[in-house]
Amino acid sequence: MSTDFEPRIIGFLCRWCSYNGADLAGTSRMKYLPNMVPIRTNCSGRVDPTHVLKALADGADGVLIAGCHPGDCHYINGNYRTAGRYPLMEKLLEQLGLEHGRVRLEWISAAEGDKFAKTVTEFTEQIRALGPLDWGKQFEAEEAKTA
């Protein structure tokens, strides 16, 4: 595996906790790796499995979903839906041939800037260790074979 591989990561952040946690990491000038591009949703419960698949198919090597801690969701229990959906999605991804660890769910509150920064750096290193995914290309190759 080439060591200069820079993972590309999409992070879905719920607006009320994790997005603010990321903001706090910013105002506190905590440094973390630059590989993740955040996408804001109102609630982690808005994150559709197709968003994750889309990200991976479009070239992401990893996907982070971050929401409020259990009990803290701005919409009462949206994050319980996320939590319920997540294992199913992991199963699905496994069946699609994806290694474990490319998609991660974390609860990060608006007060946890440090946790946000640590999570992103750690997750980036985890993906770096897994290597590039190139999922989209794999599909194209398979399609070319069947065509």
Partner 1 sequence: MADEKIAVYFCDCGTNIAGKVDVDEVVKWAAEQPNVTVAREYKYMCSDPGQDLIKTDIKELGVTRVVVAACSPTMHEPTFRKAAADGGLNPFLLQMANVREHCSWVTEDPVEATEKAKRILSAQIHRLPFNEALQPIEVPVNPDVMVVGAGIAGIEAALKLADAGKKVFVVERDPSIGGHMAMFDKTFPTLDCSACILTPKMSALGKHPNITLMAYSEVTEVSGYVGNFKVKVRKKARYVDTDKCTGCAACTEACVVQKVKSEFDVGLGYRPAIYIPFPQAVPLKATIDPAKCLTLSKGKCAKQSCVSACGPGAIDFGQQDEQVELDVGAIIMATGFELFDCEREARYGYGRLANVITSLEFERLSNASGPTGGHIVMKNGEAPKSVAILHCVGSRDENYQEFCSRVCCMYSLKFAHLIKEHLPETEVYELYIDMRAYGKGYEEFYKRLMDEGVHFIRGRAAEVSDVALAPEEEGRLVVKAEDTLLGIMRRLPVDMVILSAGLSPRRDAKEVAQTFGFGCSANGFYLERHPKLEPASTMTDGVFLAGACQYPKDIPDAVAQAGAAAAGALTFVNNPTVKVEPTISYIDPEKCSGCHICVGLCPHAAIQFNAEKEVAEVIEAACKGCGVCVAACGSNVPQQRGYLDKQIFAEIEGALAL
Sheet holding 36-41, edge to edge: 36-41, 9-14, 62-67, 103-107
Site for partner 1 in 5-64 (CB under 8 A): 8, 10, 16-17, 19-20, 22-23, 25-27, 29-32, 34, 37-43, 45-51, 54-55, 58-60
Q: x/- contact string, 55-84, with ligand FES (CB under 6 A)? A: ------------xx----xxx--xx-----
Given the complex with partner 1, which of 34 and 101 has the nearer CB atom? Answer: 34
The torsion angles phi and psi of 67, rounded to 5 degrees, stand at -140, -175
Cβ atoms of 17 and 110 within 8 Å: the answer is: yes
- Say which entry of ligand FES, partner 1, none residue 67 contacts (CB below 5 to 8 A, set by partner kind): ligand FES
* Interaction between residue 45 and ligand FES (CB under 6 A): yes
Q: How far is the CB of 72 from ligand FES (least distance, A)?
A: 7
If phi > 0 it is left, if psi is from -120 to 50 it is alpha, else beta; for residue 36 that is beta
* Interaction between residue 66 and partner 1 (CB under 8 A): no
> DSSP assignment, residue 45?
G
> DSSP assignment, residue 133?
-
Cβ atoms of 6 and 33 within 8 Å: the answer is: no
**SS3 at position 76:** coil
Sites of contact with partner 1 (CB under 8 A): 8, 10, 16-17, 19-20, 22-23, 25-27, 29-32, 34, 37-43, 45-51, 54-55, 58-60, 68, 71-78, 81, 85, 109-112, 117
